[in-house]
Structure 1
């Protein structure tokens, strides 16, 4: 059991505010990564659904200077342990301490068993990927325990501050907990909810999420209809002060970092101004 350790050329342990970076806009996302680092965010995370190859992680690391870059997550159903080992060895040779190996999406009927076997291969390799440099996507109690025992911690998505407190109890004080939080800087409730309803409607049907949403007190009707109640529980929306208050709820509940998944109301826009506003509100300058 150990907190995430990024080494001497990284920033040590993760700071409190990270950003999820959309890489689907072509090479423009590299300029976005540079901006995120200049604004003072602690970590850049690349969403797992966009990691059909691991190249974007390398590209973002090379485009920036010191900011750690994490995969959130590398899907185990797509990338083998050998893929991950070779990639990490390449990155460490030129940019040590910059890559956070986030893992998840274990396939099959028994994902816990599959992830254990995947981690075995990472541990038994030479060089291995140390548990202190990897983090797992975890929602259920047994996967949280695995994150505590065989990684540096967990990076859950679509959770409430109450879940954060529960996850901290399971992980204990020595593991890292990074919470991914959808953010919409919009005070109109209808527009704010509409901005995230489609992506969350997709995610809540993905294996693992429905059961965890029920554990958090949401109903089958909430899940099936992506209800306003569900969105209000999972999304930080409103003005900067309202969003900052939700972020601080997660931090107060035990999160080491909150990863801002910022969604502009204009789906074609990149949230430069939102990143700036949130950095001013949440990051000690």
Structure 2
């Protein structure tokens, strides 16, 4: 009975495909030539990259196995593909992108020849597409873009676009006191600036009200941002901002963004978030609503 049901579904799908192709003016012969490929593509699950990357930041930081909303089906497809490559045990194929799945994904990245930050378990567009070959297609693809210089520091184009929009909201320019891709450059940063998406903002001359306004605007466009002061660590006053879902984030920065979603301050003490609380969204989510 199950086989018959599957056959009927397949036949329905093929007939529907022919109808669509016919409406485009293709003859039956032309339709026959492209239908197998179209039907095969339509049959593949779709993985939402935005959802997967978000889960890969949040899930490893959770104290329980709560799933990231909207990510389960996409994460399951990724985990099933990792299992098929003998990189993930079946018991971990559960829609939860925890530390075990991070480790498995990092192993897959290494199998592609990636090293360092490119093999830290956070899915990138190229590796995710490679993993999905024949198994799933990828939608809502995100990436950091090319590197560029700002205020004498290296950042990427996604971060630059986010900072530009923050400045538009505030009505004034921001100046960086530290950039991205700076491995070991500042030991007090604990590796958060080793990859992309993370910057420090110079707040010299800003009032407390202005500092809070800057942190809020950074959060609005998709940064996990906090006002840092000398009582918290060996650093001067500044605003620390990590671009959520930047696929070049270092592991430490990924941990910070995950903690931000869970209401923490992004510091080693795992304290409560001391910044302005607003609805959390990524840069891509912000763009879709503005």
Quick check: TM above 0.5? no
Compare relative contact order (CA 8 Å, sep 6+) and give the higher one, 1 or 2: 1
Q: TM-score, normalised by structure 1?
A: 0.31
Q: TM-score, normalised by structure 2?
A: 0.30
CA radius of gyration, larger in:
2
